[in-house]
């Protein structure tokens, strides 16, 4: 039959078997007889160059396999594509994720400094809120932050918020009710309490979300409250409590309870649950012996292992105790208003006048009370958690 002849034709099984034997030789499949039998009774297509197309498609197609070379080439192509993708991603040199850079705003100039309030008078600088460099305390390098009448209490952990209290200027009564405020890095202020009150110490959580404070009648017993800085009403978390301080992770609050047998120190969760007594029965813990004790008599170390406490023997003194209430000891004699440095290695405090209750000057000591440095100006206050200067931490040999 010529290539142009497309007429249908049939072959006997013998002729097909003979033809396949000539082509395939000894490499015949074990299903050849079945194929030949079926093909011999099936009308075939016109002649083609390839034997597979000479057989009926419904016979030949199911038994066709993909050539090994095609499979190998396909697998290699996929692997090369994946490798190229990996190399491309690697070439991008992705940088590790960096935390956002916070702007300190109006606090840029006080980063790493101790912020305190000054009555002014004859100290060589005016009344108001000032910041002093602990690396080189001097009247000449003071930075003014706010007006007279504001008392700084605590910084947020990132240094973008300052908790302070301000005397209510409209009050005409007995003495000095106050409002609590938060000063932001953008210069804005948020007042936390609607009505003026007599706060017995206050603290802000490290993340800046909660403020804890004691409130009660003037020079009377106080209850402990927390308030969400985003808004809302104060929530009482302890029937009796004052001078709160947050743990470094913000999950716990330590506070003072004035009982019939003297001052006690309690620790509770930030919502007031699981309150437990950690320290009591210490003669030195006669808290609140004069106006010099106004402010936080507790201060939890940034390292979390110690709590500073103001006590009173013959003169005010600063003690520290382990967070579980053990290892109570005096570290500084003649000091009040303790504030830790951001790394917990130093304590800033005020030297009080015992007879008048007036805060006299700023002093700084190592956390164990050694290497005391007293200055003839200023006062203690919260230490901004910014970059510190090179603070002298070791005693200098005298000639």
Find the CATH number of the domain harbouring 221.
2.120.10.30
Please report the pLDDT score of residue 289 as a whole number: 41
Last residue of a domain, one of 68, 87, 106: 87
| Residue 217 within a domain | yes
Would 138 be classed as within a structural domain? no
Residues 224 and 319 in one domain: yes
Angle CA 22–23–25, to nearest 5: 70
Q: Which structural domain range is residue 80 located in?
A: 1-87
Least confident among 90-99, 152-161, 315-324, 361-370: 90-99
CA–CA distance, 214 with 234 (Å, rounded to integer): 11
Residues 230 and 350 in one domain: yes
Residue 277: pLDDT band (50, 70, 90) is very high
* 176, two tokens: 């000095």
pLDDT at 262 over 80: no
My answer on whether 68 and 169 are in the same domain is: no
CA 134 remoteness from chain centre: 26
344 lies in the same domain as 224: yes
- Please check whether residue 138 is in contact with residue 358, taking contact to mean a CB–CB distance below 8 angstroms: no
Distance set, CA 383 to CA 70, 115, 120 (Å): 73, 6, 21
Q: How large is the average pLDDT for residues 172-189? A: 87
Task: Give the model's confidence band at 70: pLDDT under 50 very low, under 70 low, under 90 confident, else very high.
Answer: low
Q: For residue 100, give both structure tokens.
A: 């956002």
Asked whether the beta carbons of 153 and 296 are under 8 A apart, the reply is: yes
Is the pLDDT reported for residue 396 higher than 70? no
pLDDT single digits (tens) 226-257: 999 987 889 999 999 999 999 999 999 999 99
Average pLDDT over residues 361-375: 93
218 and 75 part of one domain: no
Which tens digits make up the pLDDT trace of 2-44? 444 544 455 566 666 666 566 555 555 666 666 656 666 666 5
| CA pair distance 212, 255, nearest whole angstrom | 10
pTM of the model: 0.70
Give the whole-angstrom CA distance, residue 68 versus residue 87. Answer: 29
95 vs 314, more confident: 314
Query: Which residues pair with residue 347 across a beta bridge?
Result: 340, 365
- Average pLDDT of span 77-104: 59
In sign, the C-alpha dihedral spanning 28, 32, 33, 37 is negative
In a shared domain, residues 7 and 156: no
3-state SS, residue 347? strand
Q: Of all residues in the chain, what percent carry a pLDDT higher than 90?
A: 40
Q: Are residues 337 and 264 in the same domain?
A: yes
Task: Give the pLDDT score at 85.
Answer: 60
The residue among 327 and 290 whose pLDDT is bigger is: 327
Sign of the torsion formed by the C-alpha atoms of 120, 163, 193 and 308: negative
The answer to whether residue 254 is domain-embedded is yes
**361 domain-assigned:** yes
pLDDT score at 56: 47
Asked whether residue 99 is domain-assigned, the answer is no
Q: Which residue has the higher pLDDT, 62 or 102?
A: 102
Which of 389, 387, 379, 385 is CA-nearest to residue 161?
A: 385
Q: Is residue 123 part of a domain?
A: no
Distance in angstroms (rounded) separating the CA atoms of residues 154 and 301: 13
- Does one domain contain both 54 and 157? no
83 band by pLDDT with thresholds 50, 70 and 90: low
pLDDT at residue 146, rounded to an integer: 82
Tally of domains in the chain: 2
- What is the C-alpha to C-alpha distance for residues 258 and 18, in angstroms, rounded to an integer? 115
* 231 conformational bin, left if phi > 0, alpha if psi -120 to 50, beta if neither: left
End residue of a domain, out of 36, 68, 87 = 87
Regarding whether 69 and 194 lie in a shared domain, the answer is no
Judge whether 163 lies within some domain.
yes
44, part of any domain:
yes
* Residue 274 confidence (pLDDT) above 90: yes
Q: What is the pLDDT of residue 41?
A: 64
Do 198 and 217 meet the contact criterion of CB atoms below 8 Å apart?
Answer: yes
Quick one: residue 356, left, alpha or beta (phi over 0 = left, psi -120 to 50 = alpha)? alpha
Nearest-angstrom CA–CA distance, 337 and 363: 11
Q: Going by DSSP bridges, is the β-strand pair 316-322/329-333 parallel, antiparallel, or unpaired?
A: antiparallel
Adjacent-strand bridge partners of 152: 164
278-314 pLDDT tens trace: 999 888 886 544 343 444 479 999 999 999 998 877 7
Work out the mean pLDDT of the chain and round it to a whole number.
78
Residue 398 has pLDDT above 50, yes or no: no
Q: Are both 162 and 81 inside the same structural domain?
A: no
With H, G, I as helix, E, B as strand and everything else as coil, classify residue 331.
strand
Q: What DSSP letter does each residue of 318-336 carry, written as one string? A: EEEEETTS---EEEEES-E
CB 274 within 8 A of CB 289: no
In a 10 Å sphere around its CB, with 0-12 CB exposed, 13-18 middle and 19+ buried, how is residue 180 labelled? buried
- Tell me the two tokens of residue 226: 């927390």
How many residues in the chain?
399
Instruction: Write out the two tokens for 345.
Output: 């290695």
Among candidate residues 34, 53, 87, the one where a domain is terminated: 87
| Beta-bridge mates of residue 166 | 150, 179
Q: Which of 180, 116, 179, 124 is nearest to 148 (CA)?
A: 116
**Average of per-residue pLDDT across 127-145:** 87
State phi, psi for 362 to the nearest 5 degrees.
Answer: -85, 145
Same-domain status, 227 and 355: yes
């Amino acid at each position: 039959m010529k290539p142009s002849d497309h007429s249908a034709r049939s072959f006997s099984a013998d002729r097909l078997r003979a033809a396949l034997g000539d082509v395939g030789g000894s490499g015949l499949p074990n299903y050849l007889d079945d194929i030949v039998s079926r093909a011999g009774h099936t009308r075939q297509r016109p002649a083609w160059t390839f034997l597979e197309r000479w057989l009926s498609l419904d016979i030949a197609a199911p038994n066709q396999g993909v050539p090994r070379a095609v499979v190998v080439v396909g697998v290699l192509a996929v692997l090369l594509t994946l490798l190229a993708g990996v190399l491309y991603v690697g070439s991008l040199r992705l940088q590790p994720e960096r935390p956002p850079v916070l702007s300190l705003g109006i606090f840029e100039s006080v980063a790493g400094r101790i912020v305190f309030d000054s009555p002014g008078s004859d100290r060589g600088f005016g009344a108001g809120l000032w910041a002093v460099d602990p690396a080189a305390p001097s009247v000449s390098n003071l930075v003014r932050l706010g007006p007279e009448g504001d008392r700084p209490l605590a910084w947020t952990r990132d240094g973008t918020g300052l908790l302070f209290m301000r005397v209510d200027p409209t009050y005409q009564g007995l003495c000095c009710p106050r409002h609590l405020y938060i000063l932001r890095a953008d210069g804005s202020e948020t007042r936390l309490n609607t009505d003026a009150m007599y706060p017995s110490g206050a603290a802000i959580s490290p993340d800046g979300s909660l403020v804890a404070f004691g409130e009660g009648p003037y020079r009377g017993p106080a209850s402990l409250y927390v308030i969400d800085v985003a808004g809302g009403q104060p929530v009482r978390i302890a029937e009796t409590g004052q001078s709160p301080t947050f743990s470094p992770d913000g999950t716990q609050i330590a506070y003072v309870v004035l009982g019939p047998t003297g001052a006690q120190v309690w620790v509770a969760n930030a919502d007031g649950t699981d309150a437990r007594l950690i320290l009591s029965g210490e003669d030195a813990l006669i808290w609140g012996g004069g106006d010099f004790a106004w402010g936080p008599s507790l201060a939890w170390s940034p390292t979390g292992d110690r709590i500073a406490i103001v006590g009173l023997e013959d003169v005010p003194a600063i003690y520290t105790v382990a967070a579980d209430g053990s290892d109570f000891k005096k570290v500084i004699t003649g000091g009040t208003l303790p504030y830790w440095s951001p790394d917990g290695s130093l304590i800033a405090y005020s030297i009080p006048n015992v007879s008048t209750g007036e805060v006299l000057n700023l002093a700084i000591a190592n956390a164990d009370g050694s290497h005391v440095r007293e200055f003839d100006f200023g006062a203690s206050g919260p230490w901004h958690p910014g970059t510190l200067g090179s603070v002298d931490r070791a005693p200098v040999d005298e000639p």
